[in-house]
Amino acid sequence: MEATEPPFDPRAGRRMKPRDAARWTRRYRDTPRLPGDKPTLAHYFGKEFLQGLLAEPNCAGLRIYQAIDDSGARRVVLIGVDDQGKDLLPPVKEDGTLPDNGDGVGETPMTCPSICDPNSPLMQ
């Protein structure tokens, strides 16, 4: 099976108009949720951390996976991706599991609400 279709573009990504970003984030915040559901609105990653992931051998960019941690909180998991669109994970062990060394994959405990800029147009 191919990694992606249409063909993977290691240069993917584009800048967007701030007005569009504000509209998209507002739409996300305004989407109806189940009672008591407190959505994560944003995730913060430091420059040094991101540069470290991007510096991994053969890394062409990052993929961001939606995830739920062991306590039930919404998170994102970042992984380096090569120029063919393959996640840069270590080889699977003989028992079918991944090594538990923590290299090359990342997440952040800094989420919004709680760690956010309340004055940002993306939060209005």
Residue among 110, 101, 100, 28 nearest 75 (CA) = 110
Distant-in-sequence, close-in-space partners of 57: CB < 8 Å, separation ≥ 6: 88
Could you report the per-residue pLDDT of 71-116, keeping only the tens digit for each? Answer: 877 788 998 999 999 999 888 888 988 877 766 788 887 888 888 8
Taking CA atoms, 102 is separated from 7, 20, 57, in Å, by 29, 35, 16
Whether the predicted model's global pTM rises above the 0.85 cut: no
DSSP three-state, residue 98: coil
Could you report the per-residue pLDDT of 5-16, keeping only the tens digit for each? Answer: 678 788 777 787
Residue 31 carries which DSSP code?
A: S
Say which range, 11-15, 26-30, 56-60, 108-112, has the weakest mean pLDDT.
11-15
